[in-house]
Amino acid sequence: MKIEALEFCIIGGGIGGLAAALALQKRGAQVTVLEQAHELTEMGAGLQISANGMAVLHALGVVDPETDQGQKSHGTVLRDYRNGRIISRVPAPSAGPTFYFHRADLLSLLSSAAKNAGVDIRLGARVTNVRKHPNEAEISLSDGTRKRVECAIAADGGRSEIRPILNGTEAPVFTHQIAWRATIPWSDRCEKPMATLTMGPGRHVVNYPLRNQSMMNLVAVEERSDWREEGWRLRGDPGDLRKRFADFSGPVGEILAGVQDVHLWALFLRPVAQKWQNGRVAILGDAAHPTLPFMAQGACLALEDAWVLGRSFDEQSGVKSALAAYEATRLNRARKVVAAARANARNFHLKGPARIAAQSILTIAGPHLARRYDWIYDYDPTV
């Protein structure tokens, strides 16, 4: 399908929204991004982009395959919480290494690439409603203005205001897990940096380096029932964090001691959307398939969505057919990856004899563990 004359609107200027805008603009469309924030910024936090996500960033020209601006990972170290004892080492996936990015850095790379391609990014633009018309989508903004385009794509996050238009109201389910997120300055350097997963009963901590090992990213997850507020920008108390993970020793203890600023994220479950599009309006990224962070695939899935969306307009005739193909291509894979992340939530928090038995298995099987998820990392939507 030729989309040179078509006008698209992307609702949300995050990683998925900017990637989708770039994928469409590069194919000749006229794309406007509407972002309700007044600047494109991200709180200090890292994310992991595995080979499936890196394939999209390379294809979009966002990162150079020869240099890859993120921090290259050489695998993952699994440790016990009590003394930091190494349980096992998991090598990098066979599909290629994972890269660690500061969210703000990746967002900056995407926004620069989108602007250079001609995408119109409008800040402070809050969308209040999207309506489908026979040949276009009508977007209403909080300032009273309306915009009509051939196709609207909502990439407005896990608490999307557009998703209910397609799927109705859905109540999220609290997982009884809280994630603490922080970054700290870091001076220790190693030749082959890796992520570390430190596991304890009902809790675990993931840490990995950012920005040429000048910063350490921390995500500490605990099982907890005394929480109901959803959101991941809530400020936490570093002292409370250290108290709750006081029995975590070894290298992770040093990282916890250095935390000065921390945010809380209550983990809620929403199902993968049953309906992703209606022929003129579609959802993408967390709006379509919010996932728990235990496979580190949230950003990667959004990048995959963006590429498949653009490709669908190459391969299909008409907006309706392209959006239907996008939904059909992405639905089952999103469900499988989200289910894998949910299963890992249990695996990381085993208690008693089950934890001891699991550690014994990991000691032997750890070097081969990455193969279990080859189906995630080997996927390349760009070929």
- Give the CATH number, domain containing residue 254: 3.30.9.30
- Residue 38: per-residue pLDDT: 87
Same domain, 142 and 192: no
Give the span between the Cα atoms of 39 and 309, in whole angstroms. Answer: 26
Which residue segment(s) compose the domain that 177 sits in?
Answer: 173-269+351-366
Question: Is residue 121 a part of any domain in this protein?
Answer: yes
User: 110-120: per-residue pLDDT in tens?
Assistant: 999 999 999 99
pLDDT band at 229 (very low <50, low <70, confident <90, very high): low
Q: Is 9 in a helix, a strand, or coil? A: strand
- Residue 382 located in a structural domain: no
Residue 371 confidence (pLDDT) above 90: no
Instruction: Reply yes or no on whether the pLDDT at 377 is more than 90.
Output: yes
* Nearby residues of 36 by Cβ (< 8 Å), 6 or more positions away: 124, 125, 126, 127
Structure confidence at residue 372 (pLDDT): 84
The pLDDT of residue 360 is 64
Give the 3-state secondary structure of residue 182: strand
> Based on the structure, what is the number of domains in the chain?
2
Segment 174-218, tens digit of pLDDT = 999 999 999 999 998 899 999 999 999 999 999 999 999 999 999
Q: How much of the chain, in percent, has pLDDT values that exceed 90?
A: 78
Q: Which of 35, 247, 220, 245 lies closest to 125, judged by CA? A: 35
Examine the domain organization and report whether 39 and 127 are in the same domain: yes
pLDDT of residue 345: 74
Q: Which of 38-47, 126-135, 154-163 has the lowest mean pLDDT?
A: 38-47
Distance (Å) of CA 374 to CA 88, 101, 311: 19, 22, 23
Q: End-to-end alpha-carbon separation of the chain, Å?
A: 18
Q: Does residue 199 sit in the same domain as residue 116?
A: no
